Amino acid sequence: MANRNSTRAVRIGSITIGDHHPIAVQSMTATKTRDIDATVAQAEALVLAGADVVRIAVDSQQDALALKEIRRQTRANLSVDLQENYRLAEVVAPFVDKIRYNPGHLYHHQRQLSWKEKVRFLVQVARQHDCAMRIGVNCGSVDPEKRSQYPAEDSITPMLQSALEHCDWLDSLGFHRYCVSLKDSDPTKVVQVNQRFAAERPEVPLHLGVTEAGMPPEGILKTRVALEQLIGSGIGDTIRVSLTVPNSQKAEEITVGRQILADIAAGRVRSVVRFDPNALNIISCPSCSRVENEAFVELAQQVKAMTGYAKDHALTIAVMGCRVNGPGETDDADLGLWCGPNYVNLKRRSKTLGSFRYDEILPRLKQELDAFIAERQADNTDSGP
């Protein structure tokens, strides 16, 4: 393994990332944050499995109030995942060690304010309560202004430029206790965008992961390939393995992460693996507290089983578990499902086809999949000799 980049040190509670400290492993609770007992139990289970940081999503005042009691009952270093309401930072910051915000989600509230004013507020809160910060850029929720400046087929540059712009703004405010993540469901893009960022800002610690990696074993393999290539070249200070698993198996993300790091350190790498561009690709988000119906995990497994007959067709099916990431992060898939409390929204690329009950979505999905396959076969016949 190559020497790691000399990134600056960023303290997160009792641990420090960057500056050649051990690569930290983290995960995210999948319970409802307002369910204090369940969330504390899962946070403690993650710590027991070896988690250095545990992330908890806060999407409402009720979640924020619950976090105070969760903090009292867990020993975990806590990161709060701010969703669309950045103002909740001032409520939860006293009880966490890190604040994570997504530049693409700063537009949902107080639209009369610029993103710079909102980030200035977050910095003030972080300073006041001794919190680190993470700029978390995701492929499906990129800053819309940045995305509009580049061709639709270039999904990497808008992510990169958004991250760099936010880094420059934090630096101008004199705040340097932050890390950056740039995540995509395609491990190749994860490698490319993180390599480009590290070349421009080598001193900024990077949080690595493949978002919506999916179910084991494919989700593990996608993550492994990306991490091997990045960490193997000296890039990366903390990791998260994002798997679609039931709540009871959430600690598997930590176990897998630790195993991947151990294998990289020992030279047991598998980066010779190349994903087949002519095969079916199923992506699904990790189970987390934003999921509004736990049937999402079972549905993802059913989709995988049902679509086995189409494994040799170059199509992408995305299964997303919530309204926060679901609508945007299914746009690039050929067929997308994003799950609400009672209904599953079915999309064909960016076009919504309708909402269906959990017990009726699979036949409808199969109908659309069969139509896609038939269209592809017809196109191939028409273009033949």
Beta-strand runs (E) in the chain: 10-12, 15-17, 24-28, 53-58, 78-82, 98-101, 132-138, 178-183, 206-208, 238-240, 281-284, 316-320, 335-339, 343-348, 351-357
The class that CATH gives domain 10-266 is: alpha beta
Q: Looking at residue 274, what is its pLDDT?
A: 47
Per domain, the residue ranges of the chain are 10-266, 281-382
Backbone φ and ψ for 136, nearest 5 degrees, come out as: -105, 105
Residue-wise pLDDT for 328-382, tens only, equals 778 878 999 999 999 999 999 889 999 999 999 999 999 999 999 999 888 777 6
What pLDDT, on a 0 to 100 scale, did the predictor assign at position 203?
Answer: 98
Find tokens 């190559």 and name the residue. Answer: 2
Tell me how far apart the alpha carbons of residues 193 and 26 are, in angstroms, rounded to a whole number.
Answer: 21
CA-nearest of 238, 334, 178 to 26 is 238
Q: Bridge partners of 282?
A: 317
**Amino acid letter, residue 128:** Q
| CA–CA separation, 82 and 105 (whole Å) | 9
Per-residue confidence (pLDDT) for residue 271, from 0 to 100 = 57
Nearest-10 crossing angle of helices 218-231, 187-200: 20
Res 257: pLDDT: 98
In 10 A of CB 82, how many CB atoms?
A: 21
Give CA separation, 261 vs 149, 232, 244, in Å: 37, 10, 20
Q: Which CATH architecture has domain 281-382?
A: 2-Layer Sandwich (3.30)
Q: Which residues of the chain have pLDDT under 50?
A: 272-274
Q: How far apart are CA 342 and CA 295, in angstroms?
A: 10
Residues 6 or more apart whose CB falls under 8 angstroms from that of 330 comprise 140, 318, 320, 336, 337, 338, 347
Do the Cβ atoms of 133 and 171 come closer than 8 Å? no
Q: Which amino acid, one-letter code, is at 216?
A: P
Distance CA 87, CA 54 (A): 21
Q: Using only C-alpha atoms, what is the Rg of the chain?
A: 20
Indicate the DSSP class of residue 213.
B
Amino acid at 60: S
